[in-house]
Amino acid sequence: MLWCSVENGKFFFFFKQKTAYEILSGLVGSEMCIRERVLSCAFHPTLPLFATASVDKTAIVYDTSTTPWTKRHHLKDHADQVLSCAFHPTLPLFATASVDKTAIVYDTSTTPWTKRHHPKDHADQVLSCAFHPTLPLLPLIHI
């Protein structure tokens, strides 16, 4: 059983009796271990993908089928901290939400991933994003 947690801006993995550092360094290598202030993370429900959202204005997507995990996409389209990220469970979509008052939906069927929708009309920070389980709907939470 593997699960992750974000606590006080730090990213933690838990696996049986191993420490977070042991798991993290073995799975994603030293680059991820020193990356601070991960604010959100998400596993794809069926594909070997894991994503992080960070204060460094980026979202990084890793391939979890390799050891250590390899970086597949480094998304740098936000102007401020990325607070949340989500994979659609059945459609080729990935979303990010940011302090910059935007949410970005990426088409994951293209290489590299392309921006499919970039809503910019929010009055304040977009705090969270989550896809509907079967429809192409992305509810957003903002202040």
Tens-place pLDDT, residues 6-33:
555 455 555 444 454 555 555 555 454 4
pTM over 0.85: no
- At 62-106, the pLDDT tens digits run 998 988 888 999 999 999 999 999 999 999 999 999 999 999 999
d(CA 22, CA 141): 34
Cα Rg of the chain, angstroms: 15
Please state, in angstroms and rounded to a whole number, the distance separating the CA atoms of residues 69 and 51: 11
